Amino acid sequence: MNNKKVRLWAAGLLLSLGLFGGCASKEQGTETQEVTDQSEKQLAVDEGKKQLEVKWPYYEIIKDGQVQGYLLGTIHVGKQSMYPFPERILGDLEKSFNFITEIKMSEFENPETGEKAQEAMAAEEPLTTNMTDDAREKYQEILKDYGYQEKDVASMNRFGVSQMLQAKVLPAVAATYGVDMQLSAHAKKNKNQKNIGLETVAFQYQVLPKMYEEPEDINAWIETLETKEKYKEAMDELLQAYVDGKISEIYENPETSGMSSEQNEILLVNRNMNWIEQLPEYLQKENQSFIAVGAGHLPGEKGLLNLLSQAGYETSLVTFE
């Protein structure tokens, strides 16, 4: 993905489970689909295509020679042909005492999640208030490309408009087959397993909209919006990068991801630093926890892999035949 504007938009798909899931649920009525609804063979078929060979970013977390837990970098959208998961991943998930995700998966079933999404997307004044005539014309053209009129998003801020555009790009099935959702469906079958959220939906809706405050000038921000076709291409490229095991190349640093230093701090660094303070508590016993967070949180100097190393853990990539 060479276009940094499009790459920045795509960052939310990979790194913000509540941000993506809440909007998708509001706009499209997306619900988590139980794996048990279909046979494993059916999950391996996607529109007549054979199963994709996913290079899963899956790691053992080791300390003092003992496996303390597991870490899977996820993506919040997916395809049916990515599954079933390797038996090794499902086996490790089943024997883990904790299933640790960005937010508790049950929050998606809470009616308050939709309310928080609406609050986070509400504008104090219309975005068009300080737009030039040229910027407003482009804004209207962009909205039309997605099937909206200006009145449809008149009450929304930048974050809200961006999420409404995103919801038009992503089919409901993309969320259903997100790695998090599929893992959650399996985890629900594991008796006595506890799902722990590293943060809440409320926190994500408080912090992540700040990603859309750049550039400060509304007319310059309008220039960052792209067509539905380009955003769809960005999603496809991002998902393909995940399948090919190349996500770390995109999120190694702000320059490669298309984010500014400030946006990188908001979306990645600050959250990673908060998570690394919590994780040792859940990694005190052998096979204590299975951790599943956005794959973009793993690479880089302030990525979880390096932070775990600094905390005295070894991470070993698991490969699959």
Is 263 inside any structural domain?
Answer: yes
d(CA 276, CA 298): 12
164 touches 58 (CB < 8 A): no
φ, ψ of residue 230 to 5 degrees: the values are -70, -40
Q: 266: closest CA among 297, 242, 290?
A: 297
Tell me what pLDDT residue 246 has: 94
Tell me what pLDDT residue 220 has: 95
Tell me what pLDDT residue 13 has: 52
167 touches 21 (CB < 8 A): no
Q: Strands 66-74 and 289-294, how do they pair?
A: parallel
pLDDT digits 0-9 by tens, 100-156? 999 998 887 788 888 888 899 999 999 999 999 999 999 999 999 999 999 999 999
Tell me what pLDDT residue 1 has: 43
pLDDT bin (cut points 50, 70, 90) of residue 39 is very low
% of the chain at pLDDT higher than 70:
84
pLDDT at 37 over 80: no
pLDDT digits 0-9 by tens, 255-288? 888 888 998 999 899 999 999 999 999 999 888 8
pLDDT digits 0-9 by tens, 191-230? 899 999 999 988 988 888 888 898 999 999 999 898 999 8
pLDDT bin (cut points 50, 70, 90) of residue 50 is confident
Is 42 inside any structural domain?
Answer: no
pLDDT bin (cut points 50, 70, 90) of residue 56 is very high
Name, in order, each residue with C-beta under 8 angstroms of 231's C-beta and a sequence gap of 6 or more. 6, 9, 10, 165, 166, 169
**Number of domains into which the chain is organized:** 1
Report the alpha-carbon angle 33-36-39, nearest 5. Answer: 110
Instruction: Please state at what angle helix 228-243 crosses helix 158-169, rounded to 10 degrees.
Output: 70
Higher per-residue confidence, 176 vs 275? 275
Instruction: Please state at what angle helix 17-28 crosses helix 4-15, rounded to 10 degrees.
Output: 90
pLDDT bin (cut points 50, 70, 90) of residue 48 is low
Is 235 inside any structural domain?
Answer: yes
202 touches 22 (CB < 8 A): no
pLDDT at 3 over 70: no
Is 187 inside any structural domain?
Answer: yes
241: containing domain: 4-30+54-317
Query: Of 171-180, 200-209, 242-251, where does the model show the most confidence?
Result: 242-251
Higher per-residue confidence, 200 vs 170? 200
CA 272 from centre of chain: 14
Q: What is the pTM of this model?
A: 0.88
283 touches 289 (CB < 8 A): yes
Assigned token pair, 72: 């899977």
pLDDT at 178 over 50: yes
Q: Is 3 exposed, middle or buried (0-12, 13-18, 19+ CB in 10 A)?
A: middle
Is 37 inside any structural domain?
Answer: no
